[in-house]
Structure 1
Amino acid sequence: MKAPGLSFVAWTAICLTGNGAVLAAAVNRSPDTANSRPEFLPWSISLGDALSSKTSPLPTGGFILNSTTPLATLDYGTEVAGIPFFSVSAVGPEADEQSVQIEVRYSESYSPLAHPWSDGPYVFSVSLANGFRVETFNVSSRGSFASPLVQGGQRWQSIRLLLSDEGESTASISFERVGFQATVDPYDVTDMPATFQCDDDGLNVIWGLGAAAAATACVDKGTQPAVWEVDTEKGVLLRSQKPAVWAHGYALANYTMEFDVMIERGGVWWTVAMPNGGYTSYLQLRLVGELPEATTFANVNRTLAPPNSVLLSYGFDFVNQTTLPSLLLDTFSVTGPVAEKSWHRVKTVLAPSGRLAVSLNDQEVFNISMSDYYTGGTTVSFTGNFGVGAWQDEVAYVRNLTVTDTANGSTLYTHPFTTTDVLVDFGTQPNIESVCLDGPKRDRLVWLGDFYHTARVVGSSTARFDMARGTLDFMLGTQSEYGVLAFMTPLGYEPATLALVGSDGALEDYQLLGASSMYSYVRHTDDLDFLRMTWPKWQKLLGWLESRVNATDGLVHLNGQFLAMGATAPTSSASCAAVQVFREFAELAEALDDNAAVSRYTTLADGLTKTIQEKLWNEELGVFAAAVNDRRNFSVPATAFCITSGVATTEQANRSITAVRSQLALGVGYKDGTNVDPEDPETKLSPNTNGFLLGALFWAGAYSTGHDLLRSLWGAMIHDPETSSGASWEYVFPDGKPGLDRFTSLAHPWGGAPTYVLTEWAAGLQPAAGPAGFGYRSWMVNPQAGVAMGLKRAEGRVQTPSGPLSVRWEMLAGDTAKMRVVVEAPSNTTGVFVLGATKMVLGEKNRYAFDVLVE
């Protein structure tokens, strides 16, 4: 049993090492009576003049930072999310209270705290959170204060007292309490509505990784506050946020953008010519004010951003980053000081000739031809959206934004920015639905395909089916006229506006994964009312998928495939995933008594299966080829979906798994495909695709291989206290370290497949096959995989529409051939117990207890 009051990570340390001090972490959660939000509080701290991961319990009464001890390293023990708050008891010296500045950094793993940007910034999207992982505060008095923006996910935090004259400064600050006002549900992975436990403590901790990721990535409606504030006179207040763009501006070209700005601190940031969705590089501009000493933080980089200048960049930001490259093209001086708290008029002109010009208060700052600048080998387009924001720690008001056609002067957009409807226009309003994000700190968007794993993780852990339904409803709201859903949906926009962005030609196999997540939701909940209500939209999506079955070769042809691993259509991954979707929707149609759809989807699945066997199975290599025109390569996703869709025969599944083990094994897991270079230092392993494979391994009865993968790939996520977040990761390097270095999301539900695999296979608790198993009205307990894994005990619990359903089995002491089983089931459900040749039908009871022989 877990000791009372211990967090997941502290419990992990005890379980795996026998010494809780290895990670020395726990999370206290107490009610915040001032604002009714729960709080996440740090468990341990290190004080000194340098960062340290060797922390100790917080001192009673708080802690002090001064010239001798200017730095605190705080460990929250596991992933937390919320609005940072600080309770200050004194600002020194005590006899003459004075202002001090503190720099606060946030990070999921420990080492990025030493980096100037910590593990950020996150400028891929406006994510209803601080776009930066470093923020600075000026503290002038005792009392409590909070950051204006959410920090989406972190385990570590540092607080540094900024000293103007280190060694002689008398500045100090005393903290009574620091923490986060929670913007996600407080959680305890050892006591969730749906649970798993066994006698292997390592597997218990691995099960909790997906549970913690889902708990922090799924958010209730309205819990993620607006990132813009509207003043009826001054306009929109911008802080530490990449430019938010107009919901309808992606098709605009060659326009002139003007706005009034009043800089409160630092400067203002704006974007022009953002392409559809902003997935590639585009133009960034930043006006830096005069940076007066009185209002400028001591840590401002005046070399990167000189006072009274305009910066021009092409990319996502003004600093380069792992997956978001940026080129700082030029820095232009502005004539005269750009005074703070004064209004300035900024004008940007995108001319049809390819020239870009910026003026300030009718004085030209520059007028250049973009062809004169190196932009990574690409031609800069003047087509795309516009928006405004503010860089790290910058604060500015913007109002009276107008966009006109450069050639004819016609008005394309105008808004005073003094009314709250502008929040809807620019996607900066609070989240309008309860949804599951890709991750709490990064990719804070609703990704269609990534929900494939999340929907199943939720069903096996948090049981927040309201959030799962909200996610599906939110995604359906983006459906285009062609039937496809937006593959990546930002939080703050109305979903209907994103149908304009759409997914046509981009990651089209995400449509299949998104559809399959609906099946998983209904499988867990039996929510036929929601299915019936949304059935026309799902049929429209399935109609689009049917249209992609090529009339000539009979296979599925998709564009921009995530699962193809470099292969071109028609691919095994797309066609096998389509078979799975058609079979799943045949079951959904059966539940709705839509016999025509049952027949249609079954016929499509059968036809595709036959064609895949004929055209994509490589008998010589014993694999499903990556593509018709690429028969020597194969991949993890294709192997997985050809197994779980039922396309592969038993022999084909076994041969495919053998090929994966012999040719794709790399470090702690499996590389995505044979065309991945294992020597490339940037090669990383995906818990997402390895998660598809994990389910397929247990599906095919390859229990030993599945067990090994569980312990190696997901074991890497709990091995090192400095990188363990308590949650499942986005990517992993072959050596077991985070796979995008400090940019990696260390709380990504797409990496949480063990959470549902262990419940369904190690504990053996599954819905019965077909519509009869929806909502566990009929269920099965089959612990064969758990026995094969060498477990002596396992138990699992899920939440059904009728109540909790649980199983506990254990090998009897002194008799390794006999197992004791206890099943507790809701009324009006029936089940079957299967183990080897033993099969027992269970019904009409709420509790079953029996012993069986293990053959």
Structure 2
Amino acid sequence: MPGFRTLVWLIQLSFTSAAVLEERSRGSHDADAVFRPVGLAVGTGYSSQTSTVKTFKLNAASSFATIDYGAERAGWPFFDVLKVDRPLQIEIKYSETFPDLQLSSSDGPYPFNVGQANTFRVETFNITKAGRYSSFLLQGGQRWQSIQLLTDGAITFRNVGLEASITTVEPEKLPGKFSSSDDVLNEIWNLGARGTIASCVDEGSQRAVWEVDSKMGVHITNLRPAQTTKAIGFESYTLEFDAFIERGGIWWSVAHSFGILGGFHLQLVGELPSATTFVNTNKTLTPANTISLAKGYAFVNQTSVTSYLLDTFKVPFSVKEKTWYRIKTVLDPKGFLSVSINAKLVFKATLTNYYSGGGSISQSGSFGFGAWQDHAAYFRNVVVTDTANGSTLYTNSLKHQKVLAEYGTGENLASVCLDGPKRDRLVWLGDFYHTSRIIGASTGRFDHSTGTFDFLLKSQIENGQLSISPNLGYDPSIASAFAPTGSYFLEDYQPLGFLSFYHYIRHTNDVAYARKTWNQWEKQLNWLLGKISSTDGLVHFGSAFLGGADAGSAVSCVSAETLYAAADIATTIGKKAAAAKFRESANALADAINDQLWNDATGTYGLSTSDQSAFTVAGTAFCLTSGIASKKQVASAISALDDLQLGFGYKDSSNDDPETTDLNISPNTNGFLLPAILAAEDWERASELIYGVWGAMLANPETNTGASWEYITPQGEPGLGAYTSLGHPWGGAATYILTEWVAGLRTADGVEGFGYKNWILSPDLGFHMGLKHASATVPLFPSGQISVHWEIKKNGQMLVEVRAPKSLKGVFKLGKTKKTLQGKSKYRFTV
């Protein structure tokens, strides 16, 4: 419609920008704090075939630019406009993969939580003059970006980039290092390192996502509703507030949980005047002068973030932009939900008439405020009353900075590691298992480890459990209020979280931190002991990510491994009674596991006492790494893995139907399995798994982010489609495995190995892979390092070189060769 486009640009001078403020200052963008693209393509559509980045122009003949940052990046997008011939509009998309960049919503949106980041992966800019433009909200993780010219005109860009929200250090510059004669392995090591770089953030580095004005209230754009912590237990209430549509409409929620259940979402869309409405506005999803009602997380469904669009109601008058309205939402005890604007009823709905995934319709939970893609609005003067008796429950002007803490929309409160940079921007307890070990092998940011533990420990509730996923912007000490709605529901995340702490202590021997936090860890461990049945001696959880929650092998074996680890830490900090208690409990649990869960017929550990014929990757992994299995059982269980083979790796359970179209391979659980395979000295199987699962992440240039993935399909593609996190440290276990088993540098077993006081150089896996050479450097705590290098010379001998602090003792082992290394800072010898 060229006539319409011409009309649009003639009247665009009245625009303000959608998800941004034009030429918003975001700092100097110096080279140390900026990610710049490595490739650019300009043409009539998307193209992954990019070349040198330079000044570029978009016009009617070439309206698309595809930008490649080369690897997983994160930050606030900005661009410099060198020249523009008239007011025009551009649409910018962000994505981890190139194929997903071409979707209408790119690889978003992500309404799972606020996460101090843009909920959307698409935003539109109105360009009226030359200068710098930048996004107010950050993109947490991306490799690809596109810019499309939407209206008539021509625009010339000089600079495009991301003001970094994470460190800009590259893997090869980290304190921890790995290299070998195989470039594929070198890139595989980088996967976990880069995933951790992208996911671990410094305190205050993730900026506030609400702006507060002392007169207008809070300004919100491109963000799912953030919930107040002051209304967690509210039920059947009436919410009133003032709203001012700057562009598009407003988004608010009621009866919303802080856990995994979502809530009711409402979106009022204004009249969408042509003078201020972007030409790419989806008027089917957001029709003018309507209120949409949804249940779940948003108004569109995306993989596991389920949403149900329940209804759309016509507003009986035109809703103007830049006009204040009083919005009233009533949750009636009889099951009605109604909305009025300026005391005029728009709709009254019977909630039981709608399907939203089955189960009961709850009217309990908090409320919050947000704005849809390219929408912007102000909110103020909130009042909540009890619908039944009219008593006042809550008031807030939303005109003071304190609202940021209450709604979890301020800057991040601690240096922590997130589940992933773009989507699950939460501090997941169990998912830190691999990240904790990757930090020790690569970034050496032990402050990120202790920061994460401190954040999680603040969420401890009376029974000893820690929140499994505290939010980035909320004070985690309020997490006990989240407990009824799911933030403690995966009970096996408690032992997985403790094992993350154990691996930190094993690497660092940070005795002071262990002593400082021990009372809280012991409280968690005592909770765990309470989950061991006095009847059968096995662990009984209510729910478990690893499967087999009730008397299962995975939950029982990971608990046994946790108790053995706890005994070691208790020993090293002088808690002899606690050490004896935990070791005795672990031994008893081990006996019960071998007595009741080992299945001679299948030659492995059964899923649970109620399903002995099935078995799992996680059960096999932890029953072997915990030391519970005998040598004969280890060999048998590893051999049984053949029945779990799926594509490049292993499916989670023998119960999983390989013909199921959505069946995926988990680098997380396959990562648990790797040490078990190596302990069995099955070098060929370990090599195949590393090259298979982690090699698949590198195979396709259009999906390779240079970081580890969350899931992969049996065919080697991202496992949850566009929803998949491709910067997920939980998928990066190969990073520390390559350091520990290919280069061969790892701590000795038990307390004697804590802090590398005793270390091992045993490059069996690297030798059996046929490598010509391998090197690794491991950062020590609080300072120092150990560096190793070995290479196979032409005469068939292995030359070994080591640099380590004199105070540490090492042993070189390869096959039957064993050599003690002690009393020197440098070692050089041949084998």
Calculate the TM-score normalised by the size of structure 2: 0.95
Q: Does 1:177 align with 2:159?
A: yes
The residue aligned with 2:829 is 850
The residue aligned with 1:155 is 143
Any conservation in 1 of the 2:469–2:487 contact (CA below 8 Å)? no
For the residues of structure 2 that align with 1:796 and 1:36, how far apart are their CA atoms? 29
CA offsets, 1:199-234, max 9 Å, x none?
111111111100000011101110100000100010
For the residues of structure 2 that align with 1:623 and 1:82, how far apart are their CA atoms? 47
For the residues of structure 2 that align with 1:554 and 1:679, how far apart are their CA atoms? 36
The residue aligned with 1:189 is 171
Q: Which range moves more in the overlay, 785-794 or 534-543?
A: 785-794
Any conservation in 1 of the 2:250–2:268 contact (CA below 8 Å)? yes
The residue aligned with 2:21 is none
The residue aligned with 1:556 is 539
Q: Does 1:516 align with 2:495?
A: no
Q: Does 1:413 align with 2:394?
A: yes
Superposition pairs of residues 716-727 of structure 1, within 5 angstroms: 716-727=696-707
Selected match of 1:798 from 764, 778, 781: 778
Q: Does 1:131 align with 2:119?
A: yes
Q: Helix, strand or coil for the counterpart of 2:173? A: coil
The alpha carbon displacement at 1:36 in A equals 8.5
Q: Does 1:44 align with 2:39?
A: yes
Q: Does 1:730 align with 2:710?
A: yes
The residue aligned with 2:515 is 532
The alpha carbon displacement at 1:281 in A equals 4.3
Aligned-residue CA RMSD (Å): 1.3
Superposition pairs of residues 779-794 of structure 1, within 5 angstroms: 779-794=759-774
Selected match of 2:50 from 50, 55, 58: 55
Question: Cα distance 1:678–1:240, how it changes in 2: closer, same or farther (>3 A)?
Answer: same
For the residues of structure 1 that align with 2:190 and 2:431, how far apart are their CA atoms? 19
Selected match of 1:841 from 795, 805, 820: 820
The residue aligned with 1:17 is none
The residue aligned with 2:199 is 217
Q: Helix, strand or coil for the counterpart of 2:70? A: strand
Counterpart AA for 2:97: S
Counterpart AA for 2:603: G
The alpha carbon displacement at 1:706 in A equals 0.7
For the residues of structure 1 that align with 2:31 and 2:41, how far apart are their CA atoms? 30
Selected match of 1:403 from 373, 384, 390: 384
Counterpart AA for 1:46: A
For the residues of structure 2 that align with 1:480 and 1:278, how far apart are their CA atoms? 15
Q: Does 1:264 align with 2:246?
A: yes
Superposition pairs of residues 170-569 of structure 1, within 5 angstroms: 171-275=153-257, 277-502=258-483, 506-564=489-547, 567-569=548-550
Selected match of 1:108 from 93, 96, 101: 96
The alpha carbon displacement at 1:82 in A equals 0.3
Superposition pairs of residues 637-648 of structure 1, within 5 angstroms: 637-648=618-629
Any conservation in 2 of the 1:254–1:405 contact (CA below 8 Å)? yes
Q: Helix, strand or coil for the counterpart of 1:658? A: helix
The residue aligned with 1:696 is 676
Q: Does 1:594 align with 2:609?
A: no
For the residues of structure 1 that align with 2:682 and 2:510, how far apart are their CA atoms? 32
Structure 1's unaligned 5+ residue stretches are: 1-30, 93-97, 164-168
Question: Cα distance 1:362–1:512, how it changes in 2: closer, same or farther (>3 A)?
Answer: same
For the residues of structure 2 that align with 1:349 and 1:653, how far apart are their CA atoms? 61
For the residues of structure 2 that align with 1:820 and 1:568, how far apart are their CA atoms? 49
Q: Helix, strand or coil for the counterpart of 2:470? A: strand
The alpha carbon displacement at 1:293 in A equals 1.2
Any conservation in 2 of the 1:583–1:601 contact (CA below 8 Å)? yes
For the residues of structure 1 that align with 2:480 and 2:827, how far apart are their CA atoms? 51
Aligned residues: 803
For the residues of structure 2 that align with 1:269 and 1:780, how far apart are their CA atoms? 57
Superposition pairs of residues 29-40 of structure 1, within 5 angstroms: 33=28, 38-40=33-35
Any conservation in 2 of the 1:193–1:799 contact (CA below 8 Å)? yes
For the residues of structure 2 that align with 1:267 and 1:278, how far apart are their CA atoms? 26
Counterpart AA for 1:184: I
CA offsets, 1:674-711, max 9 Å, x none?
11111111111111001101121112211110100011
Any conservation in 2 of the 1:809–1:820 contact (CA below 8 Å)? yes
Superposition pairs of residues 825-840 of structure 1, within 5 angstroms: 825-840=804-819
The residue aligned with 1:679 is 659
Q: Helix, strand or coil for the counterpart of 1:349? A: strand
Q: Does 1:85 align with 2:78?
A: yes
For the residues of structure 2 that align with 1:375 and 1:749, how far apart are their CA atoms? 33
For the residues of structure 1 that align with 2:57 and 2:109, how far apart are their CA atoms? 28
Question: Cα distance 1:32–1:291, how it changes in 2: closer, same or farther (>3 A)?
Answer: closer
Counterpart AA for 1:831: G
Any conservation in 2 of the 1:85–1:178 contact (CA below 8 Å)? yes
For the residues of structure 2 that align with 1:506 and 1:757, how far apart are their CA atoms? 30
Any conservation in 1 of the 2:241–2:328 contact (CA below 8 Å)? yes
The residue aligned with 2:17 is none
The residue aligned with 1:69 is 62
For the residues of structure 1 that align with 2:507 and 2:194, how far apart are their CA atoms? 19
Any conservation in 1 of the 2:705–2:726 contact (CA below 8 Å)? yes
The alpha carbon displacement at 1:306 in A equals 1.1
Counterpart AA for 1:80: R
The alpha carbon displacement at 1:155 in A equals 0.4
Q: Which range moves more in the overlay, 314-323 or 439-448?
A: 314-323
The alpha carbon displacement at 1:250 in A equals 2.6
Q: Helix, strand or coil for the counterpart of 2:592? A: helix
For the residues of structure 1 that align with 2:818 and 2:329, how far apart are their CA atoms? 74
Q: Which range moves more in the overlay, 450-459 or 323-332?
A: 323-332
Q: Helix, strand or coil for the counterpart of 2:172? A: coil
CA offsets, 1:551-590, max 9 Å, x none?
11111111110001xx340100011001110111111011
For the residues of structure 2 that align with 1:286 and 1:505, how far apart are their CA atoms? 30
Q: Does 1:669 align with 2:649?
A: yes
Q: Helix, strand or coil for the counterpart of 1:447? A: coil
Counterpart AA for 1:810: E
The alpha carbon displacement at 1:376 in A equals 2.8
Question: Cα distance 1:504–1:301, how it changes in 2: closer, same or farther (>3 A)?
Answer: closer
Any conservation in 2 of the 1:451–1:750 contact (CA below 8 Å)? yes
The residue aligned with 2:20 is none
Counterpart AA for 1:511: Q
Task: Name the % identity.
Answer: 48
Any conservation in 2 of the 1:483–1:541 contact (CA below 8 Å)? yes
For the residues of structure 2 that align with 1:237 and 1:382, how far apart are their CA atoms? 27
For the residues of structure 2 that align with 1:500 and 1:757, how far apart are their CA atoms? 39
Q: Helix, strand or coil for the counterpart of 1:538? A: helix
Q: Helix, strand or coil for the counterpart of 1:53? A: coil
Any conservation in 2 of the 1:505–1:560 contact (CA below 8 Å)? no
Any conservation in 1 of the 2:470–2:487 contact (CA below 8 Å)? no
Q: Does 1:743 align with 2:726?
A: no
